[in-house]
Amino acid sequence: MRCFLGIILSLLTACSSGMQAAPELTPVRLAEESAPITFARLVIRVPAGTEIGHHHSGLLKIKRAPYVWQSNLTIASDEFKVIASEVMQSYGYDVKGGDNLLFGVDESAKAEYQLGGTLTSILYDTYGSLAGNHSDARLHIEWQLYDAFQRRVVFEVATDGYAKLSGRSAAVAQEAFKAALRNLLADTAFVATVRRSPSDLWEGRIVSQPVVIVTQCPTIVRELPAELNDALDAVLVIRTGGGLGSGVVVSPDGYAVTAAHVVSGLESVVAKLHSGLEFTASVVRVDEAQDVALIKLPGRGHACLPAAGDSLPSIGSEVFAIGAPAGEEFAFSVTKGIVSAVRQFDRFSYIQTDASLNPGNSGGPILTPDGQVVGVVSWKIAAQGFEGMSFCVPMNALQERLTLEWR
């Protein structure tokens, strides 16, 4: 008899055990508004076919029909953007985006930070009238905070959120999302990050101590394309382990400029000249915000190209680009285009060109017809329906961001 009762008690315990609630932390309420922030999106990354919960019925809360997730990768609806915006606003955040849904006003482009989340786990249970007549959900969300000025993720953390509602309701998932977001807003490290304006930090990224380049490259007027071979002698192919980029020597002392994303995080790289000679170049200074870097080859007497300085090319003028567009076997390839525009993105200046550029061109020079380096290749728009939209950092912006002083 005791054994039978033990079995019944074990069965009751197993059937009635519910979902474990997540901790509920108290969000930090901001006395002053944060830097402008927007909620970008919630991505749901739960494998299709995952059993996420059950419907329970009867006094014993017996599991009946399972709930199975159907999609592999899903972008959650705009409801979550609205919910996130309302929650953050209620705690003093300066939220941009979805500002006026009735009239379609959206100022999310003005945000200095973008917040996004990836939902990697969801538990969802419902209970019939005899089983308690409620629904509960628990979500696990991995958050990322993106700095629009530095163009990189500056903060990552994961939180859980739990909610319980009466009746059989899918809205419980939205309530669990709110709980996970409130737990994020309770993270003091997150709060400290978004209180700082990236625009202020952007101004402070310029290094005060200049790099003095004693020997300038002689200003020799060349006629391109006729004298392109002379220009090729100053161009570099830069190898970084499995990565590849380009660069250009701007001083006989071996100083060369390239893109930050080519050499970022490294102390040295392999630089190959058009002649076939290879050097180990040291990484002197990197500015990831503007995507520019300064490296130095050993020795003196290097072939170089003069920097254009403060002058910008006129719209419609010809430019020549040199780099390794499709790997080292295509190194020192030359393409020609025009200056399509000079643009500003998030306070950064770029020369837009229709010259054909690809990933291996990154950090390589764009030259005026008289052989001056007017910019280095940074990025391009690579999407269906877009052609000839590449962007280069002008030399005057590069010199400012790296604090170069010519003597």
CATH number at residue 373: 2.40.10.120
Shared-domain flag, residues 75 and 151:
yes
Supply 68's token pair.
């199975």
pLDDT at 242 (0 to 100): 73
Residue 317 inside a domain? The answer is: yes
Shared-domain flag, residues 197 and 216:
no
What pairs with residue 130 in β-bridges?
none
Shared-domain flag, residues 193 and 140:
yes
Shared-domain flag, residues 251 and 196:
no
Residue at which a domain ends, from 174, 202, 230: 202
CATH number at residue 119: 3.30.160.150
Cα gap 166→179, rounded to integer Å: 17
Cis, bond preceding 225 (omega within 30 deg of 0): yes
Supply 101's token pair.
């849904």
Cα gap 25→174, rounded to integer Å: 17
Q: Of 336, 376, 377, which Cα lies nearest the Cα of 228?
A: 336
Q: Is the distance from CB of 176 to CB of 137 less than 8 angstroms?
A: yes
Strands 255-258 and 37-44: unpaired
pLDDT at 15 (0 to 100): 45
Residue 247 inside a domain? The answer is: yes
Residue 7 inside a domain? The answer is: no
Q: Of 363, 358, 321, which Cα lies nearest the Cα of 236?
A: 363
Q: Is the distance from CB of 156 to CB of 144 less than 8 angstroms?
A: yes
Give me the residue label for tokens 């979805």: 98
Shared-domain flag, residues 182 and 257:
no
pLDDT at 383 (0 to 100): 64
What pairs with residue 117 in β-bridges?
42, 143
Cα gap 247→237, rounded to integer Å: 6
Residue 3 inside a domain? The answer is: no
Residue at which a domain ends, from 138, 168, 202: 202
CA angle 143, 148, 153 (to 5 degrees): 35
CA angle 197, 185, 288 (to 5 degrees): 35
**Who contacts 128 (Cβ-Cβ below 8 Å, separation ≥6)?**
55, 56, 57, 58, 168
Residue 4 inside a domain? The answer is: no
The domain in which residue 115 lies consists of: 16-202
Residue type, 398: L
pLDDT at 257 (0 to 100): 97
Strand (E) or helix (H) holding 378: strand 373-380
Residue 2 inside a domain? The answer is: no
pLDDT in tens, 327-339: 888 999 999 999 9
Residue 327 inside a domain? The answer is: yes
Shared-domain flag, residues 370 and 290:
yes
pLDDT at 103 (0 to 100): 47
DSSP code, position 25: P
pLDDT at 225 (0 to 100): 92
Q: Is the distance from CB of 258 to CB of 376 less than 8 angstroms?
A: yes
Cα gap 259→247, rounded to integer Å: 8
Shared-domain flag, residues 225 and 165:
no
Structural domain tally of the chain? 2
Shared-domain flag, residues 109 and 194:
yes
* Burial tier of 270 (Cβ tally within 10 Å: 0-12, 13-18, 19+): middle
Residue 391 inside a domain? The answer is: yes
Shared-domain flag, residues 183 and 247:
no
pLDDT in tens, 38-91: 999 999 999 999 999 999 999 889 998 899 999 888 888 888 998 999 999 999
| Residue positions counted in the chain | 407
**Spans of the chain below 70 pLDDT:** 1-17, 98-107, 109, 149-150, 197-208, 383-386
Cα gap 134→192, rounded to integer Å: 38
Shared-domain flag, residues 175 and 75:
yes
Cα gap 313→367, rounded to integer Å: 10
Residue at which a domain ends, from 181, 202, 223: 202
Shared-domain flag, residues 141 and 284:
no
Shared-domain flag, residues 70 and 103:
yes
pLDDT at 262 (0 to 100): 92
